Amino acid sequence: MDISLIHLKVRSSMEDNLKAAGKGIRQASKRDPAFIALPEYFSVPGSMEKFTSAAEISKVTYKETTRFLAEISTEIPNTYLLGGTVVEESQGRFFNTSTLWRNGNLIGKYQKKNLIKIEVKAGLSSGNKPAVYTTEFCKVGLLVCADMFDSELITQTVNLGVEMIFLPVAALGTHPTVKGHPLTERIASENGVFVIKIGNVHSNTRGGRSAVIAPWGILEEVSDAKDDSIITTKVDLSRLREYRRNLQ
């Protein structure tokens, strides 16, 4: 089973971000992967440091971004699309929401629980429960960025039977340089799951590097190049299930 990650530069306009994402998705789809995944806030213009109003970002980006995700997922009907995250309004509150699509249909979503300071200041609210969905390949869990530091949430998600966790991220430019993926590697090895980490070029060398991580190590990661890139990696579910049996 193949998985493709779309590692994107941050553009100054939503339109350019969506255009780049569409180009990457269409290119990745030529390999006919089971999943294609986008980064956190992939359509939001500019960097996270400029994130000041959740309400304004939602107003400007939500409808166009979800329309884009619905439409492009119809172009890849055999592939699940992890739509990065969008700023979604629900009952007067705003959430950083990860979405899962197939053939034009929204089949799942997750509201980020562990917000960083800049998100709280901008007016985002925290979600409060894990999200796990059954696909024809395996059960997948949706988490977002700083959720990786929440061991209780990870345990709750894993206990729902997931074999793969999608983790869109968007580290700030002030994030300290991290060598490798020590935290997500530990999560993968201790819990017997694949961690699919999807970052962006802006945060590439500051902890947001995209990677496909198995319990036995990093299968593939992007380089330090400052350009858009796509990585497509084969994951072995049979090997994962054997690993999980040995964990018990």
What residue ranges define each of the domains in the chain, with the CATH number in brackets? 2-247 (3.60.110.10)
**Which is higher by pLDDT, 127 or 246?**
127
Mean pLDDT calculated for residue range 104-133 = 96
Q: How far apart are CA 246 and CA 248, in angstroms?
A: 5
pLDDT tens digits for range 32-65: 999 999 999 999 998 777 789 999 999 999 999 9
- 205 pLDDT band, cuts 50/70/90, is very low
- 204 pLDDT band, cuts 50/70/90, is very low
Burial grade of 174 (CB within 10 A; 0-12, 13-18, 19 or more): exposed
pLDDT at 51: 82
Strand order in the sheet with 211-214: 132-134, 139-142, 164-168, 194-198, 211-214, 217-221
Q: Quote the percentage of the chain above a pLDDT of 90.
A: 81
SS3 content of the chain, % helix, strand, coil (to 5): 35, 30, 35
pLDDT at 170: 87
Q: How far apart are CA 237 and CA 163, in angstroms?
A: 8
pTM over 0.85, yes/no: yes
pLDDT tens digits for range 159-180: 999 999 999 998 665 555 666 6
Q: Quote the percentage of the chain above a pLDDT of 70.
A: 93
pLDDT at 181: 83
Under 8 Å between Cβ of 93 and 87? no
pLDDT tens digits for range 230-242: 999 999 999 999 9
